[in-house]
Amino acid sequence: MAYSDRIGASGGKIPDLRPGPSQVWQDYVRSPRAKTLRFGEHDVVFYEGDAADRVYELIEGAIMLYKLLPDGRRQVVEILGPQSLFGVVAGKIYDCNAETLTPAVVRSIDRRDAEGSADLQGHISRCLLSQIETLHEHTVLLGRKSAFERVASFLMRFVPNRGVADCLGPREGAKDDAVVLLTMTRQEIADYLGLTIETVSRVISDLKRRGVIAIEKQDRIRINNVCAICHLTGAH
């Protein structure tokens, strides 16, 4: 996404969405009832409107959830990393599309099994709490943040243990930099941030001109000053 055409969630700050899985959950996912599926890059796991008869857990890779408007415009609603659950809906059909950003390994769970076990339901509910928090942050980003704040927030999402409420800043004497590996196209980033490709490219170019970031390869960005990016998020 020269800014690279790829950006995303490899090695980044994806929340741990499986806090303390129960023994029942661990036993179930090791049983023949849970299916392991492998997908290539940009494969569709399910489409909006498909029968929602399976719940999915991402084991490896990255996945985006998105909705399409009647005129073809797309809104990426969530980016998922390993240990994320998706495909959990209240109704009988999926309410969005799920597409891999990278080659991915996914665990498929029969929805009837999940609904028939209080232990499995409890684990799924705990996982969804973290995802709800992430969606709240994204709502603020789309509704109130400027283009610079949106791009900065996106980059900070993939810097481990920084930009969070209890962030202590860089370690004393350590260089305050980080590398973001790229798995999303500029169009996908724009669709996630509610911006145009041109705006995303302009912000990235400006950050590069300021020396805050550097484009090392086609598939990675080096943040030269994490604190500077963090302050641009509008969270301070």
Residues 138, 204 within the same domain: no
**pLDDT confidence bin for 141, thresholds 50/70/90:** very high
Whichever domain contains 70, its CATH number is 2.60.120.10
The reported pTM is 0.83
Q: Which domain holds residue 186?
A: 145-232
Examine the domain organization and report whether 128 and 180 are in the same domain. Answer: no
**Final residue before a domain boundary, out of 123, 142, 161:** 142
CB atoms within 10 A of CB 148: 16
Q: Do the Cβ atoms of 28 and 113 come closer than 8 Å?
A: yes
| 8 Å CB contact between 104 and 38 | yes
pLDDT at 16 over 60: no
Average pLDDT over residues 83-89: 93
Same domain, 27 and 138: yes
The answer as to whether 9 is a domain residue is no
12 in a structural domain: no
Residue 235: C-alpha distances to residues 80, 140, 147, 167, 170 (Å): 22, 11, 14, 12, 17
What is the SS3 assignment for 143-185? HHCCHHHHHHHHHHCCCCCCCCCCCCCCCCCCCCCEEEECCCC
Confidence tier at 51 by pLDDT (50, 70, 90): very high
